[in-house]
Amino acid sequence: MKNMNVTALWLIFTFAAILGMVGYDVAIKLATDQISAYLFTAILVVFGLIGHLTVLGVYKFYHPEVPLGASPKILLLGALGGLGLVVMDVCFFLGVKIGGLATTNAVWLIGGLIATVLVGALVFHEELSWNNMLGVALGTVAIFLMVF
């Protein structure tokens, strides 16, 4: 693989990432009423992991000065990302089963918005300003109005 053309690698990994995410989205839209929640969650996890592993593969092949195996942080982030995807999917579908799609989708979107701000502040050390807080508040209101 190291002797492959960089453009060819870009195309391969981009196609794999798109395939994984399209399969994930199609499974969400078409299969929710057709199969059991456990099988559905398993299908979503497989497609989501394809996308995550593809991102790790792109990192490995496009940054040869920092190989994937030489960076424990990258390996840890990849493992946490995959685990997070599994937990998110299971929680989402349990929420749909318990509270209905509209409520679960609102919590899902608002939770994602808040999580993005928290990750930015805690991991990337971004400053939490009034503009950020106002953006989160307006985003929460917008999601609430769209869903309900």
Per-residue confidence (pLDDT) for residue 142, from 0 to 100 = 87
Query: What's the domain range around 70?
Result: 1-86
pTM beyond 0.75 = no
Q: How many domains does the chain have?
A: 2
The structure tokens 């057709």 sit at 34
Per-residue confidence (pLDDT) for residue 8, from 0 to 100 = 63
- pLDDT means per 10 residues in the chain (148 residues)? 57 67 67 60 65 62 56 63 68 72 76 78 81 86 80
Both 82 and 146 in one domain: the answer is no
Query: What amino acid is encoded at 91 in this protein?
Result: C
What's the rounded Cα separation, in Å, for the pair 74 and 67?
10
Per-residue confidence (pLDDT) for residue 38, from 0 to 100 = 61
35 belongs to a structural domain: yes
Per-residue confidence (pLDDT) for residue 108, from 0 to 100 = 75
Per-residue confidence (pLDDT) for residue 1, from 0 to 100 = 46
